[in-house]
Structure 1
Amino acid sequence: MNINKYKLLTTLTLCFFTSISVLSQSNSLTSSPYSLYGLGTFNSTYTGKTSGIGSTGIANSSSTFINNLNPASLASIPLKTFFFDVGMKSEYGVQIDGGVKETKNVANFSNMAFAFPLSAKSGVSVTLIPYTNVGYSLSNIETDIEGTTSSFISDIDGSGGINSLKLNYGYSLLDNLSVGATGSVLFGQIIENEVNYIGSNVLTIYDSNSYSGFQFGAGVQYEPIKDVTVGAVVTFPSLIGGDKETTVSQYYDDQIEYTDDLDDFKLPLEVGFGIQKRFLDQVNVAIDYRMKYWSKTDQTDELGTFVDQNMLALGVEFAPSANPLKFWNNVEYRAGFNYDSGNLEIDNKKIYNYGANIGIGIPLSYDGLSMLNLAYTYGKKGQIYDGLIQENYHLLTLNISLAGQWFVKRKIQ
């Protein structure tokens, strides 16, 4: 192993553990009021170019970027090549509750990943990415005091989320068939601070909920004919356990602290299918469908019911590439659309989500592997109905995707 590779591995390791610290303490990856439910809203940003092509990727390869949606794709990483990806996001949301509008903006680090081949037929990636995000703020909530005609007012804030530290492995069984396996360590903290105004008294309840668990899955990719790839993924059911530390304090009084175990949160079976078609070596079209069987978990939230979740995504990418020596011929143009039926039902109404996006890949090297991936998404979540909130959001994601080579001897002429 040469000195350059030592430097590279040292840099990646330092960046990776720094990212774990930053991401695990992050509390501003979302401002959605719907992050109040369950473990929060599930992450909708990904590595590389994925966010710019409608979040499709089940049938995409990892030959030019890190595809975190199907472990089988890692078998396509070019030999002697490594990939590194770091992402950021900024979200501006307009929340409509009846005739009242409220705007919120959040921005933060969103992911880090690196990948490299183990052999000519296999590759591996390690990714740190949010699994769920929590970031809600509710004020002036009026609650009746049971047995009386009085009520009290509450302000509630929530932050944090669950992170996924994922290891993906892909292996090429045949020239047109690859399989893969994935394992994730899920961990994180969700904080809720509730301030109750009862007459002239102020009662504060501070909950620190720590979660951890494991998740496993598998994937396959197959190219039945030239320029057509199909893929499938499965994520197996798992349990997320944790404990809660609660601090109750009243103005001018001493604090009361106690610890309690949290009930296991059940994550459902998830299956997904995708297809990608390439036209004229310049256009890629991909369609993905995924389903999460939440109803099989037999669990409910205090404010809603978990229901099966359907997700459909469409992505298109155009890359001129007529003359790779010209800058603009290496620029990639992208667009996509996705629909999510939601996993919660409140008063027989699902909290659905849909978004449309455009993206661009700006080359940072002549080989087109290192890219500055920028994507913009406009979406809507929820609806204005009997106390529900509609959220219109603008999401901007930036992924710096770098590629390099190792084990390459320099030639001196």
Structure 2
Amino acid sequence: MKIKYITLYTFLLIVSSKVYAQSNALSSSPYSLYGLGLTNDIGTGKINGLGKSGIAIPSSTFINNSNPASFGAIPKNSFFYDFGFKGETNTSAEGGSSNSNITANFSNIGIAFPINEKSGFGVTLIPFTSVGYTISGIESYIEGSSDLFITTIDGEGGINDLKINYGYALTNKFRLGLTLSALFGKITETETNYILTNSINSILIEEDNRYSGVRLGAGFQYDITSDTSIGGIINLPTTLGGDAEGTTTVSTSSVYEVIETDSDLDDFKLPLELGFGLQTKIKEAFTVSLDYKKSFWNNTNQSDQIGTFVDQDFFGAGLQFKSRSNQSKFFNRLEYRAGFNYDNGNIEIDNTRISNSALNFGIGVPLKHNSSSMINFSYSYGNKGTISNGLIKENYHLFSINLSLEGIWFQKRKIN
């Protein structure tokens, strides 16, 4: 591995952190209005085509960000990279009306490498939450007056997760791992009020809400047999501190005034999260992966302006097929994947949960015969929410591409 390539990758990692911190194109869901936005459902490598399941999968051929213990399985002399891209189209339906949006952006960037024969290290930058919504046409009367004003509210931004993972193999079958997440980001809300009097006046309120904090986690993986592995993770509860900077601009036919404000935000609590996973091979060519995670939001004792946070359950299942026939043929080296994931949501509005479910399909295209380098394509079709109780149902198509590369370093070149 040449130094210039490591330097270039470090530069890309820093630049990407700036992009994420100001990105507004990672979501267009109305449900990103709640809390700190929608929790990211995009993973690294092949995870997206496997129902988001990966707790028991080792990082032997790609970066698996689902469990820090997996980094203890990185092969000696391998250096892994992962670049992710995401595109999404969604249609939101409410009553008899609907609205469609398209978003696209980077979804992750990461590196991983072995420290020695028993341990590995990795750094991944990935969105933790994303915000992107518009609420328009809200009509209200000025208190004590018959004058009407119309409000439009836009939100964008999100929280980023700079995750540092370390995995150690206690034995050939048992691995432990630790993870440290640096969470940071900005959510911008813009409220525009048009006052309908003899002349059109407006009040523009812009507020930047910044949050930051750290979170610790751990994991394990155990190979029961050469074909079956189990894994588990724990992410500890933490609190994100916040502050807000805002401006209020009042514009009328005779007045133009800008008022600046600074304030502290209420802390946002993230819950304890536990997860368990299983991976097993069936008849050599098929691999099944299953995940279950539970997030204990009830213990945070917090609510949104509209809803209440409740315990969340996540289920993910994936199936992969890879031919064991002649591997010199290109099509025999392709990996075919399918999966399903469901979660019952972490927010409850009028006794109704905002659940999410999706079907996933994926394919892995190898880039080199004697390497783990691969382009992983995935497609998901899913839906969130419901039309009942005055809520919104969202159908979405999610496309992702992960360029998962393997480099070989610190290996002596052989000359015949």
| TM-score > 0.5 by shorter chain | yes
Q: 2:409 aligns with which of 399, 406, 411?
A: 406
Provide the residue aligned with 1:244 in structure 2: 244
Q: Which structure 2 residues correspond to residues 2-13 of structure 1 after superposition, within 5 A? A: 4-13=1-10
Please give the alpha-carbon distance, in whole angstroms, between the structure 2 residues aligned to 1:117 and 1:151: 64
Query: How many angstroms apart in 2 are the aligned matches of 1:135 and 1:237?
Result: 26
Q: Is the 8 A contact 2:371 2:406 kept in 1?
A: no
- Cα distance in 1, alignment partners of residues 158 and 172 from structure 2: 40
Deviation at 1:367, TM superposition (A): 2.5
State the partner residue of 2:217.
Answer: 217
Partner residue in 1 for 2:55: 58
1:364 matched residue in structure 2:
367
Q: Structure 1 residues 144, 176: closer, same or farther in 2, change over 3 A? A: farther
Contact preservation (8 Å) 1:268, 1:292? yes
Equivalence for 2:204: 204
Give the match for residue 16 of structure 1. 13
C-alpha displacement of 1:7: 1.9
Q: Distance in 2 between matches of 1:128 and 1:118?
A: 20
2:327 is matched with 324
Q: 1:144 to 1:302 in 2, by over 3 A?
A: farther
Give structure 1 stretches of 5+ with no counterpart: none
Instruction: Give the secondary structure class of the aligned counterpart of 1:174.
Output: coil
Q: Secondary structure in 1 aligned to 2:268? A: strand
- Paired AA for residue 127 in structure 1: T
Counterpart CA distance in 1 for 2:278 and 2:231 is 6
Q: How does 1:224-243 map to 2 (within 5 A)?
A: 224-243=224-243
Secondary structure in 2 matching 1:207: strand
Match of 2:188? Answer: 191
Inter-partner Cα distance in structure 1 for 2:306 and 2:146: 24
Q: Map 1:387-406; keep pairs closer than 5 Å.
A: 387-406=390-409
1:298 to partner: Cα distance: 0.4
The alpha-carbon deviation at position 149 of structure 1 amounts to: 5.9
2:340 matches 1:337: yes
Q: Relative to structure 1, is the Cα distance of residues 295 and 144 closer, same or farther in structure 2, using a 3 angstrom cutoff? A: farther
When the two chains are superposed, the root-mean-square deviation of aligned CA atoms in Å is 1.2
**Cα deviation, residue 412, structure 1:** 1.5
The question of 1:174 aligning with 2:171 is answered yes
CA deviation after TM superposition for structure 1 residue 114, in Å:
0.5
* Residue 315 of structure 2: aligned partner: 312
Is contact 1:324–1:367 with CA below 8 Å preserved after alignment?
no
SS at match of 2:388: coil
1:302 aligned residue (305, 308, 318): 305
Aligned residue runs from structure 1 range 50-199, under 5 A: 50-146=47-143, 151-199=148-196
Amino acid at match of 1:53: L
1:289 to 288, 292, 302: 292
Structure 1 CA distance for aligned equivalents of residues 155 and 387 of structure 2: 22
Equivalent-residue separation in structure 1 for 2:237 and 2:141 (angstroms): 39
SS at match of 1:18: helix
> Does the 8 Å contact 1:97/1:388 carry over to 2?
yes
In the alignment, the residues of structure 2 paired with residue 246 and residue 96 of structure 1 have an alpha-carbon distance, to the nearest angstrom, of 32
TM-score relative to the length of structure 2 = 0.96
8 Å contact kept, 1:330–1:368: no
- More deviation in 332-341 or 192-201? 192-201
Question: Which stretch of structure 1 is more off in the superposition, 364-373 or 68-77?
Answer: 364-373
State the shift of 1:147 in Å: 5.2
Runs of 5+ unmatched residues, structure 2 = none
Checking the alignment, whether the CA contact within 8 Å between 1:315 and 1:336 is kept in structure 2 is yes
* Aligned-residue offset at 1:365: 0.8
Q: Which moved more, 1:359-368 or 1:146-155?
A: 146-155
Check 1:385–1:152 CA distance in 2 against 1; reply closer, same or farther (3 A cut).
farther
Deviation for aligned residue 1:77: 0.5
The secondary structure found in structure 2 opposite 1:9 is helix
Provide closer, same or farther for how the CA distance between residues 151 and 386 of structure 1 changes in structure 2, counting only shifts above 3 A.
farther
SS at match of 1:255: strand
Change (3 A) 1:28 1:407: same
- The answer (yes or no) to whether the contact 1:135–1:160 under 8 Å persists in 2 is yes
In 2, the alpha carbon distance for the partners of 1:265 and 1:369 equals: 40
State the AA in 2 paired with 1:202: S
> How many angstroms apart in 2 are the aligned matches of 1:148 and 1:228?
70
Check the 8 A contact 2:315/2:343 in 1, yes or no.
yes
Matched, 1:265 2:268: yes
Q: What's the offset of the Cα at 1:145?
A: 4.1
Where 2:257 maps in the other structure, the secondary structure is coil
Rounded Cα–Cα distance in structure 1 between residues aligned with 2:300 and 2:395: 30
Question: In terms of mean alpha carbon deviation, does 128-137 or 402-411 score higher?
Answer: 402-411
Once the two structures are overlaid, the 10-residue window that deviates more, 192-201 or 81-90, is: 192-201
